[in-house]
């Protein structure tokens, strides 16, 4: 895994967006996708909002995905394998880049056909604990034309569109880059979260 971690870090240092095409194994990606689809079928996923705590706002004109928070107390073997991977990545980041990350939070995200998330940044105005944003995709059969790309707006005006292919992970500073999820034409699934201090 060290080489995969290095790929994320090196691509981040190059243009402020780290990308690893194979952060998740095909097997683990499939198992997590199965978990997500089961939760979705059982109506366990809730409409996502913007803001935090008392400031949360649910406005489907801004954001129309559904989410379910991961938690180690669920004791799901596949989610636990994901947590082990994240623990290893955080340890590697702290040891090699002195990032000071002390915790993380992740949720499943389901974008149904026609769903999107308008341009935004990930750090709250009233809470600066989120250091890095991280999205890992679970879409094994994604094709050109399916939509749902992550659009990242760089400071020089360049717009980077990233396809949500299964196993791929994207990593960037939570307070630096505005980004959006383009409207998807098919179900778009991911695990999205933040590395925190």
Query: For residue 126, is it left (φ>0), alpha (ψ between -120 and 50) or beta?
Result: alpha
Cβ pair 132, 27 in contact under 8 A:
no
Give per-residue pLDDT as tens, 73-101: 999 999 999 999 999 999 999 999 999 99
> Where do the domains of the chain lie, and which CATH numbers do they carry?
2-196 (2.60.120.620)
Distance from C-alpha of 182 to C-alpha of 20, rounded to nearest angstrom? 20
Give per-residue pLDDT as tens, 135-154: 999 999 899 999 999 999 99
Nearest to 65 by CA among 115, 136, 114: 115
Tokens 């760089």 sit on residue? 154
> Can you give the pTM of this predicted structure?
0.91
DSSP 51: S
Instruction: Quote the percentage of the chain above a pLDDT of 70.
Output: 92
Which residue positions in the chain have pLDDT lower than 50? none
Nearest to 29 by CA among 137, 110, 143: 137
Structure tokens at 83: 């947590």
Nearest to 50 by CA among 148, 108, 115, 125: 125
Q: Are strands 188-196 and 103-111 parallel, antiparallel or unpaired?
A: antiparallel
DSSP 145: T
């Amino acid at each position: 895994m060290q080489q995969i971690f290095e790929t994320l870090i090196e691509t981040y240092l190059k243009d402020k967006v780290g990308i690893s095409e194979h952060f998740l194994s095909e097997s683990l990606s499939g198992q997590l996708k199965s978990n997500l689809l089961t939760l979705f079928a059982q109506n366990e996923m809730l409409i996502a909002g913007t803001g935090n705590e008392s400031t949360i706002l649910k406005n489907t004109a801004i954001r129309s995905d559904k989410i379910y928070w991961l938690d180690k107390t669920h004791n799901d073997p596949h989610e636990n394998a994901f947590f082990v991977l994240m623990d290893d990545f955080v340890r590697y980041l702290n040891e090699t880049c002195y990032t000071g990350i002390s915790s993380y939070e992740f949720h499943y995200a389901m974008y149904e056909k026609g769903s999107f998330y308008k341009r935004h940044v990930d750090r709250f105005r009233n809470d600066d604990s989120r250091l890095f944003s991280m999205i890992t995709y679970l879409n094994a059969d994604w094709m050109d034309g399916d939509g749902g790309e992550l659009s990242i707006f760089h400071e020089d005006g360049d717009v980077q569109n990233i396809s949500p292919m299964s196993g791929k992970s994207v990593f960037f500073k939570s307070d630096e880059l505005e980004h959006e999820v383009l409207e998807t034409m098919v179900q778009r699934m991911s695990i999205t979260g933040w590395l925190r201090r």
